[in-house]
Amino acid sequence: GYLGQAAYLMENHADAGQSFFSSVPSGAFWPTFLIANIAALIASRAMTTATFSCIKQSTALGCFPRLKIIHTSRKFMGQIYIPVINWFLLALSLVLVCTISSIDEIGNAYGNEFISIYF
């Protein structure tokens, strides 16, 4: 995806702000939009799961205070849920989104700043 965007931006310098959606052909916009949203949901879930796993391991090693850990499956080991960490991630996400003043700052945090400066 990044190589395709870079190739598109080499020819269309003015579209640096919306490089992802501008580089998609008009007939493939909605399928691409759907796949991008599904990928974002999967990435979000992976981040939450990794956070739960790291906190559980840190607690087991005595490096983190004890928290309530709920095992969500009796059949599969390792499927856990930590309510306090879930609420913490929610609060942290809301604070981050509320303190950023513009959509451009979110793009810059994501890495679009490099693309804007380079082109």
Specify the pTM: 0.66
Residue with tokens 């998609």: 24
pLDDT value of residue 33: 84
What pLDDT, in 10s, does the model give residues 66-115?
999 998 888 888 788 999 999 999 999 899 888 887 777 776 666 554 44
Give the DSSP letter of residue 67: -
β 70-71/80-81 pair status: antiparallel
d(CA 20, CA 111): 12
